[in-house]
């Protein structure tokens, strides 16, 4: 980065393959002092956001690779028109993908599209997020103490991860040569990491999985990537990016990067994730708080569960002692499998997502202004149903999950959680945070 004056408008343009992933990245950038706005899909307007970073949230993780590529390229074109000078492709810290994509195909297409920019011959792929237990060592992704394929991710409804070796996983998705930035280099700091990147480039590696086991590794990698046109990874690797822009004189001091406007009104929790952490959070909530279960098989039989869920929630927040409720489809991997067997994977997912999205829309009509949502795909469906177009990103609730407020005329406060994120009491904690967002 050679320009050394503060520019107005965003400098970092990010493309995320799902909604909660986008929020997680935006959270990281706010913590680094960048004022950040997240847009839901590619905005229809040409306006530059009043922010240092913009994250375009797609819902492309599990769509056909060709469609995911088309959406990523549309997002890139919009971000370039805003004046962004570096780009980031964000995917899940558990590398959620299949052999058909979409991490490899989208990365290739973005590099191709940026090919006239310096630093566009090469990028890294680093899903490490040590704060959340995701580390990469010699190309192998760990979730906590276990390898990816023993972490529960092998049972994911849409992107089962059965191979922990990311060099192998990514190489199956791309014709580009995939390499490895080894831990031994990363841990020595930015200069050694940069030398490792240059060595890989010389070997004609185009995408390199990068090892990282702690935040210091991510800061080193971030600094080593300052001159790349494109960086790819989980939100962790974005830790080191704000400092690059600050060093280049492209950021104003932003102590209050996460300040949010006030929102007041009733709240609800919606859970459509079947991940291990969400299962624990649902169980913890249900010990002493009201909840309503959405059973996909009953939905498929045409039972009026959506109407019942809305009435249940309304009864509670409208009662003498207003109380938020949980509406959930969350269940064990065995039961998800049984449902998928009966309905088909895509149809089961869609049915649940649409049911929760409709519940959200109806509840907003009834006055609900605060939504805690568990599940990446589920969050995507909910914000779409609510017609939310962009979010200003606020303070962190748990690693990877900030409070947010929509930028509409009638602002809505949202906490959007990727399935495996958050402590066991996340739902209550998130509601308290959103209650803090009061005008």
Q: Which residues of this chain interact with ligand ADP, rule CB under 6 A? A: 157, 272-275, 278, 296, 329-331, 336, 339-340, 348-349, 352-353, 375-378, 418-419
Q: Report the residue number, 92 or 437, with the smaller CB distance to ligand ADP.
A: 92
Shortest distance (Å) from residue 111 CB to ligand ADP: 27
Give the CB-nearest residue to ligand ADP: 419
Shortest distance (Å) from residue 270 CB to ligand ADP: 10
Residues in the chain: 439
Q: Report the residue number, 107 or 275, with the smaller CB distance to ligand ADP.
A: 275
The residues with which 232 forms a beta bridge, in sequence order, are: 89, 125
Going by their DSSP bridges, the two strands 86-90 and 230-233 should be labelled as parallel
Q: Which two tokens stand for residue 211?
A: 């090892």
How far is Cα 167 from Cα 209, in angstroms, rounded to an integer? 6
Shortest distance (Å) from residue 275 CB to ligand ADP: 4
Q: Report the residue number, 340 or 428, with the smaller CB distance to ligand ADP.
A: 340
Q: What angle do CA 208, 214, 218 make, to 5 degrees?
A: 45
Q: Which two tokens stand for residue 423?
A: 């402590």
Q: Which two tokens stand for residue 90?
A: 């964000």
Residue identified by tokens 């709240």 is 267
CB 423 within 8 A of CB 276: no
Q: Report the residue number, 86 or 279, with the smaller CB distance to ligand ADP.
A: 279
Shortest distance (Å) from residue 245 CB to ligand ADP: 30
Shortest distance (Å) from residue 375 CB to ligand ADP: 3
Number of H helices, E strands in the chain: 15, 18
- Other Cβ atoms within 10 Å of 17 Cβ, number: 27
Shortest distance (Å) from residue 237 CB to ligand ADP: 20
What does DSSP assign to residue 20?
H
Q: What are φ and ψ of residue 63, in 5° steps? A: -85, 175
Shortest distance (Å) from residue 154 CB to ligand ADP: 13
- Other Cβ atoms within 10 Å of 293 Cβ, number: 16
Q: Report the residue number, 157 or 164, with the smaller CB distance to ligand ADP.
A: 157
Q: Report the residue number, 108 or 353, with the smaller CB distance to ligand ADP.
A: 353
- Other Cβ atoms within 10 Å of 346 Cβ, number: 12
Distances (CA, A) of 207 to 90, 97, 107, 127, 331: 14, 16, 8, 13, 37
Q: Report the residue number, 93 or 176, with the smaller CB distance to ligand ADP.
A: 93
How far is Cα 56 from Cα 78, in angstroms, rounded to an integer? 9
Mapped onto helix, strand or coil, the DSSP state of residue 124 is strand
Shortest distance (Å) from residue 377 CB to ligand ADP: 3
Q: Report the residue number, 274 or 431, with the smaller CB distance to ligand ADP.
A: 274
Shortest distance (Å) from residue 421 CB to ligand ADP: 8
Is residue 119 classed exposed, middle or buried when 0-12, 13-18 and 19+ CB atoms within 10 A define those classes?
A: middle
Q: Report the residue number, 251 or 391, with the smaller CB distance to ligand ADP.
A: 391
């Amino acid at each position: 980065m050679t320009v050394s004056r503060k520019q107005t408008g965003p400098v970092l343009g990010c493309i995320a393959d799902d909604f909660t992933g986008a929020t997680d990245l935006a959270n990281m950038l706010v913590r680094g002092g960048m004022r950040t706005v997240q847009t839901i899909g590619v905005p229809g307007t040409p306006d530059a956001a009043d922010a240092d970073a913009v994250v375009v949230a797609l819902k492309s993780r599990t769509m056909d690779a060709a469609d995911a590529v088309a959406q990523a390229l549309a997002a890139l074109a919009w971000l370039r028109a805003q004046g962004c000078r570096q780009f980031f492709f964000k995917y899940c810290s558990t590398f959620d993908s299949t052999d058909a994509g979409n991490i490899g195909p989208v990365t290739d297409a973005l590099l191709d599209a940026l090919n006239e920019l310096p630093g566009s011959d090469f990028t890294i792929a680093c899903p490490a997020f040590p704060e959340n237990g995701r580390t990469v060592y010699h190309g192998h992704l760990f979730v906590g103490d276990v390898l990816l394929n023993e972490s529960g991710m092998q049972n994911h409804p849409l992107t089962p991860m059965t191979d922990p070796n990311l060099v192998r996983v990514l190489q199956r998705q791309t014709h580009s040569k995939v390499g490895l930035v080894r831990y031994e280099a990363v841990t020595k700091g930015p200069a050694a990491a940069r030398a490792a990147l240059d060595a890989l480039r010389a070997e004609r590696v185009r995408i390199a999985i990068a090892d990282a086991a702690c935040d210091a590794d991510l800061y080193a990698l971030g600094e080593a990537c300052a001159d790349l046109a494109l960086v790819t990874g989980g939100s962790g690797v974005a830790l080191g990016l704000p400092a690059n822009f600050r060093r280049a004189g492209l950021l104003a001091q932003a102590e209050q990067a996460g300040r949010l406007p006030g929102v007041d009104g009733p709240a609800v929790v919606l859970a459509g994730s079947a991940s291990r952490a969400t299962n624990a959070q649902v169980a913890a909530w249900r010990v002493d708080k009201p909840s309503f279960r959405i059973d996909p098989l009953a939905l498929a039989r045409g039972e009026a569960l959506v109407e019942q869920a809305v009435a249940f929630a309304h009864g509670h927040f409208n009662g003498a002692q207003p109380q938020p409720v949980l509406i959930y489809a969350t269940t064990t991997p065995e039961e998800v499998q049984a449902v998928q067997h009966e309905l088909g994977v895509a149809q089961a997912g869609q049915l649940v997502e649409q049911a929760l999205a409709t519940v959200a829309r109806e509840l907003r009509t009834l006055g609900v202004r605060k939504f805690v949502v568990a599940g990446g795909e589920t969050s995507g469906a909910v914000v779409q149903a609510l017609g939310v177009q962009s979010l200003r990103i606020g303070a962190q609730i748990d690693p990877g999950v900030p409070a947010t407020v929509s930028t509409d005329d009638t602002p809505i406060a949202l906490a959007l959680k990727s399935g495996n994120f958050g402590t066991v009491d996340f739902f209550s904690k998130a509601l308290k945070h959103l209650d803090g967002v009061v005008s």
